Structure 1
Amino acid sequence: MKKFLTTIKNIFAIDDLRVRILNTIGFIAIFRLGSYVVLPGVDPNQLKANTAGLFGLLDTFLGGAFSNASIFALGIMPYISASIVLQLLTIAVPYFQKMQKEGESGRKKINQITRVLTIVITLAQAVGFVATINAEAIAINTTLFTITSMIVLTAGTIFCMWIGEKITDKGIGNGISMLIMIGIVSRFPGALAAEFLSKQLNGALLFLFELAVLFFVVMSVIMLTQAIRRIPVQYAKQVGGSSLYSGQRQFIPLKVNAAGVMPIIFAQSLMFLPSMIAGLWADQSETANYIGSTFSDFTSWQYNLVFGLLILIFTYFYTAISVDPNRIAEDLKRSGGFVPGVKPGKATSEYIDAILTRITLPGAIFLALVAIFPAIAMMFGITREFSQFFGGTSLIIMVGVVLDTLQQIESYLLMRHYDGMMKSGKLRGRTENIAMVS
């Protein structure tokens, strides 16, 4: 405890770090306050929360702003959608590939296109969002309400984008990811209280057991996020003027889960299609009715089987497009580096690809298990709200953002010659000697 208090004191002793932390807290407070400002023309007393399926997932990410029909009801989710679209375009379309290679000017162009696409997506989603609000809660003309809501929701999304960018520039951590994490974490106290009340006094021991399981699940996700496979790299001796520099031995860190949370997001999006399509013929076919009811229940074994298989497929797909062994091998060759025992060039690329393929399988299986664990938790009697914190997209996002934020704080402390956040030493990934392959 004494070391922890000393670390907190050291954090606030650094002027720049203290200002950044206070800025982050201030921006987050504004974001949370906006989540409770209801859209003009909505009677909050008549609102009926729709938290089923995709709506429930969005409401979790947005910290209740969706069910509150607030001005931040769509949050930064349209921006996330636009970013994913642009990311896929930079892989598939040569024009965007060229733009990405233009350096800072290319990134500015891509960011501008992303913002414009965000506005378009927000306007489209605003229409769909208005349709989810029950008619009793709308206190003005429906057409006028739709038009004004589209404008307000778009302005709210743009403002959330601005907050996220300000957190990145003036605060700590990645602003966009931070806003998503805060939305998720804001639901935790209520979910924890509801779970405790549901168990009552005779279930106190069971509640403690659930907390212990949650702790081990979080630790497992941290291991998955941090796990890397090191490929040793040797750099040849170099001559600089009259000096001879000995070769350096470093390593390439290949993450076991290089795809991050994207496979779950892609798979989750596709899992809504079977029930939506089957709903078109539900009244005419018993099979369609069965498919619709089965895939609307995320605790059914059929749903989780298909969900897990999709995550396996998307993990390999997203790893393949995000980690390019050919580019890594070329960069190593240009910088005079080589993998011991492997010829530079094509042989190095094949070697890296083989290792990447092998480590992706256990990472994909573990990611699939994490994704379906909330359904397993619900099957054992845990409430729906609390079960969302036992895995899935929510937990992976929270762990990733917290680790990234701690690493940034760690770097500030180490630059000022203070002890780090962890008693055992440095946080992995920020301060170790890693081969810079880009």
Structure 2
Amino acid sequence: MGAGQLITTKHRDLDTGYISLRSADEDLAARLPELRLPRMSEQARAAFRAVLAYERPPANGSVADVLRLVEARGFSAHPCDWIPEYSWQLGGRHPALYQPWVDWLSEQGLTKFHKGNTLTAENCKRWSKGQRRWALIEMIRNGRDDDFRALKDFASTQPGSIRAQLVEEIDAWGSFVGCYPWQTPLLEYFLNDRVAVVRDIAAHKLGKMGAFTTEEAYAQKLAGELIVTADCVRYREPPEAHMMFVHFYKDFACVNFDALAAALGLAPTDLARRADLDDVGQQLINVAARTGDAEVRSILATRLLDLGKAGEHIPLAMFLGVAPPSWKDGLRAMFASPYWNSVEDYLGSKTGSLDSAMMREWPCSHYISKTVIAELERGELPVNMAYDPLRVLGKVVDKHAAAEVRDEALAAGMAPDNPRLTMLKLNLAL
């Protein structure tokens, strides 16, 4: 067996001139690490290749929705058909399932280390500074999960230049100028670094935060801007309508729901029930989506649904861990959104499981025959693939519903080899 090689397949594209899809030859495919899911069948592989040829996804994020369906059915892609894009410009945003391939290819020297790789103490020096920056930011973002223990262990193995770069990346990353209070413990840790430049960077960032180094400090500031009554929490002086979202943006971005409730003298659930949804509500909803527990999120989500809000007005995180009835109500709210991808995003790992009865509640399904007839009679296609009901439904429905959609399209006159059917064919082959 040879060492194998990477393969680049180019497809012409009207927007970019061409797009490149990456894969491995048989020898290299045999050397790649096994993933936690088996590779799809030959029939499914053929359907998957047809999807790639028709859709020509320009980057990993553009094929992630297709791979989500494959993974939800218990399979992985075959590396001879697809591997994650690894160029510095387009690397990353691949499903976590394929991380072993991404890291192995770079460790073997077949691809350069890029922002989609896993940064480790052992491989850190093999990265370019620009690509390492993105990995350090990701490490900081994820550091809250273990109180930065893994990050500190990593930093302790690195030279001062790498630690200095790490501290430079402790930031709000464009949300606002400065740092988040949850980053304060990390900055304080580097105040004791053995290298002066690292200590100086950390001290400078902490100094710019002033008195606002904790979420509780931001909570106290916001509490002074709000008024609490027996049945309502609202602004003392409501901002102008066009400033409603940006008013105190940084303060809300730097507070957690429990801390704000405590500063107002309320239990978190009471704040969720009393918040004036037409006043301070949107800001509190965003805080709850980031930091609220399941009960708080469920209370706010239910209130929004009772007001008839469609899915585009409700963060998906509001439904994480909620009771099944509330989850199904949330799904129906996504049906009402003009953004059809909301349903797929909402389903997440449950994609490919929407049954026929629920599918028919979704207005998207009302356009199956209409778009087929429009193509046959007037040559009209959906405005883009994201609004082609055959593709959209093909990604989210179960096999029985997929067959129903296919049969309706064929009955309306669509040719069996029309490439718009490729997603449905993949669904049925998995």
TM-score (norm 1): 0.22
- Between 1 and 2, higher relative CO (CA 8 Å, sep ≥ 6) is seen in 1
TM-score (norm 2): 0.22
